[in-house]
Amino acid sequence: MRTKIAVSAALGLGLVFGAGAPALSSNLMSTDEESATDLKAAVVPGQELERITDGKIEKGETAYVDVTVATLWTDSKAPRKVDKPALGHPVDLDKWNKNLKKTDVRRDLTGKVETQAAYGSEVTVLKTKGDWAQVAVKDQSTSKNKKGYPGWVPKKQLVENDRFGKLKDDQPRAVVTKKKSELEGIEFTKDTGADVSFNVDLPLIAQDVDDVRVALPGGGAAWIDFDDVAVYDTGDKPAKPSGSDLVKTAKQFDGLRYLWAGVSPYGFDCSGFTYSIYRAHGIDIPRDSGEQATAGRKVSERDLKAGDLLFFSTTSGTVHHVGMYVGDGKMIHSPNASKDVYVTDWKSWDTGNEFSGARRII
């Protein structure tokens, strides 16, 4: 449910550092004693938004994704030349998708990529190797690692920022509901290399009639159009969705090209699609289809309702695909590298008779 929050009251009124924007309260100080002393002595506009970091990405630390979407690889040697646009800071995901136009090139990502993580996502650093870090994405549950979904990412796509972490814990939040939006009026940072897209979740620090002001993982702040986000007070989640709510959210991605391991409006794989749709409504389900097949409760084919998940398995019983039931015998899904997200009659699509069951999450 969209809501207008009295952000100035939540934050505490302080220095005004932008039109219509209350500053953060001055009790948000550095954990470093010298920096804390400096802040108490003379807080200047924007200083409370500067990131607190030692400039290193090290094992055991918490870090945040600092690019539009970070792609997590099986190892540092997995990327190909065509994948270069996904490896930088900033990334160029439109160019990457153009590089993956041919089906065989796109399909060859299979086994090379683990998952993706959106701008601002929290990760735990599991290990480092040269310019790369193996991380676990906190909000993507999996049996592979209790800390989150693991994979390797270039260190330059991550940032350590204790202040941003505190803001995420303590402040209201703005969650992007549109497929893609923009950061405008970026201030107090030189780090401006990211766009925001579906499901990006950032701390809210101010709002006016038309926009919300959010803190950025790399430090600083920016505005996002209010119509592109949903705003939640600290600890709040969206209202429980109906099946039709889930289907409506899913259908906005009709026609989007499949991307192995994708969890963003630049491309989804089958389980990344269902995971992301449920997450947009405040419901966490496992990242992969095999584990999604144990979530919720079992429902029979004759009792299917919109929003239920349909699973398809190999003859050995391994789940390899998931789609979302939309009603009238149809499902919406992101099937494979040669296809887009689309709605189809699920029984007609299942030519191999691989349907293995359905689960209801809500």
Q: Which residues are catalytic?
A: 270, 321, 333
The number of residues in the chain equals: 362
Question: What is the separation, in whole angstroms, between the first and last Cα of the chain?
Answer: 17
Number of neighbours of residue 80 by Cβ within 10 angstroms: 11
| Distance separating alpha carbons of residues 152 and 58, to the nearest angstrom | 13
| Distance separating alpha carbons of residues 92 and 95, to the nearest angstrom | 5
DSSP string, 51-113: ----S---TT-EEEE-SSEEEEESSTT---GGGGGGTSSS--HHHHHHHT-SHHHHHTTTTTE
Closest CA to 360 of 314, 300, 319: 300
| DSSP tag of 130 | T
Structure tokens at 221: 């702040």
Number of neighbours of residue 350 by Cβ within 10 angstroms: 16
CB-based contacts of 238: which residues, under 8 Å, 6+ apart? 1, 230, 232, 280, 281, 282
Say if strands 211-215 and 201-207 run parallel, antiparallel, or are unpaired.
antiparallel
Identify any residues that bridge with 325 across adjacent strands, giving them in sequence order.
331
| Distance separating alpha carbons of residues 18 and 49, to the nearest angstrom | 13
Burial category of 108 from C-beta neighbours within 10 Å (exposed 0-12, middle 13-18, buried 19 and up): middle
